[in-house]
Structure 1
Amino acid sequence: MAGDARCPWCGEDEIYVQYHDHEWGVPEWDGRALWEKLILDGFQAGLSWITILKKRNAFRAAFAGFDPVKIASWGEDDVQRLLQDAGIVRHRGKIEATIKNAQAYLNIEEREGFSRFLWQFQQGRVVQNRFASMTEVPTQTPTSQAMSKALKRAGFSFCGPTITYAFMQATGMVNDHLVTCPSHDRVAQLA
């Protein structure tokens, strides 16, 4: 049973606490919302999530509300525009990957649905982990490795197995709130 000790990774920062309490671990089934989260997790590579979280609104503005149809048609002029945008992480490889990933997303969405494609790795179910400490929580799993490989085969980049596991945690494919956290049971009930 959950207690009253929030997962320690979010610390005291109000934006992080709000994210932890209201978004992280909540099962997400909308393909476009899943795509946005995967893109943001790719931008996080080598950085802390709080950095991305604080820039999320700027990312949404810079990337046309994460509209994959619009982004898929972007070219070098758009890459240059984004490289000048101080509100986002200005990394050419990650920006170019976002354009490429939009194209891959559209192919998957048309073929089978992006949400279905991702949730198949969980057989459509949330894994209810019961970790008591952060040392028990893995950074990747065989499932995140399989998801990463499938995404790469489909044309995605910046989606290694550590990124895909963080993505699975954030989008509620796994419930990795510690059992001592009040959010553990709440998120479990949403599944």
Structure 2
Amino acid sequence: MSTDNRPRCAWLGTWAGAADPLYRVYHDEEWGRPCTDERALFELLTLEGAQAGLAWITVLRKRENYRRLFLGFDIEHVAAMTDADVEQLMQDAGIIRNRAKITSTIDNARAWLTLREAQGDVVAWLWSFVGGQPHQNRWQSMQKVPARTAESDAMSKALKKAGFRFVGSTICYAFMQATGMVNDHTVDCFCHAEAADTPFKPFTSR
């Protein structure tokens, strides 16, 4: 973990579990960086849904277990999981053992595949809610950062219509932040400029 004193978003020092090195690595290397990889997007949408009602550090600490148990978030494999798989997952303390959240991951994988058939490119479809390019916000403080926006409202509505669960507007906005659809690093954070300068990779559906 980096031990430098570069300025960072204030939430890194105030959120539950913020002292955990996982948080700084996540903030410095992933959060707010544009993501256009389909499997990674499915993973982050799953984890944001799993976080509902909990501290994000709880999910970060279980992330590798989620990757192991959900087969690297291979969407086709997750969609093929059965009731027996759900029962097995419910016995594993490595993830959040909430039946609704576990079954929603499988249902969401199936909805994702259906959406892929309808749209052709789910990645481009998701990014279309921000016009296909990252929104470069310039927040002066974390108090200015919204919990939801018109764009996240629209994404939530569309995902629910497509059969997804645990995709409320607040979850969708957190997903947009995590995947760099919006750059919500505050302007005093060294990551703001780095995220803005991150090359925007072509969409990759599979």
Same fold per superposition (TM over 0.5): yes
List gaps (5 residues or longer) in structure 1: none
Q: Flag the structure with higher helix content.
A: 1
Q: Distance in 2 between matches of 1:74 and 1:35?
A: 16
Aligned residue type for 2:147: T
The answer to whether the Cα contact below 8 Å between 1:31 and 1:113 also exists between their aligned partners in 2 is: no
Partner amino acid, structure 2, of 1:179: V
Instruction: Indicate the SS of the match to 1:159.
Output: coil
Matches of 2:158 and 2:83, distance apart in 1: 27
Task: Work out the number of aligned pairs and report it.
Answer: 189
Counterpart CA distance in 2 for 1:175 and 1:4 is 18
Q: Which residue of 2 aligns with 1:122?
A: 130
- The superposition leaves residues 39-66 of structure 1 with CA deviations (integer Å, 9 ceiling, x where unpaired) of 1100000011111011100011111111
Structure 1 residue 18 corresponds to structure 2 residue 35: no
Uncovered stretches (5+) of structure 2, i.e. residues with no partner: 14-18, 201-206
1:61-140 equivalence runs, <5 A:
61-111=68-118, 112-140=120-148
Determine the C-alpha separation between the residues in 1 that align with 2:189 and 2:124. Answer: 29
Structure with more relative contact order (C-alpha pairs < 8 Å, separation 6 or more): 1
Question: What is the aligned partner in structure 1 of residue 174 from structure 2?
Answer: 166
Contact 1:126 1:173 in 2 (8 A): yes
TM-score by length of 1: 0.96
Identity %: 53
Q: 2:7 aligns with which of 5, 8, 11?
A: 5
Runs (4 or more) in structure 1 with deviation over 6 Å come to: none
In the superposition, the TM-score normalised over structure 2's length comes to 0.89
| Post-superposition offset of 1:8 | 1.9
Q: Return the letter of the residue paired with 1:54.
A: R
| Cα distance in 1, alignment partners of residues 96 and 77 from structure 2 | 20
Question: How far apart, CA to CA, are the structure 2 residues paired with 1:9 and 1:82?
Answer: 32
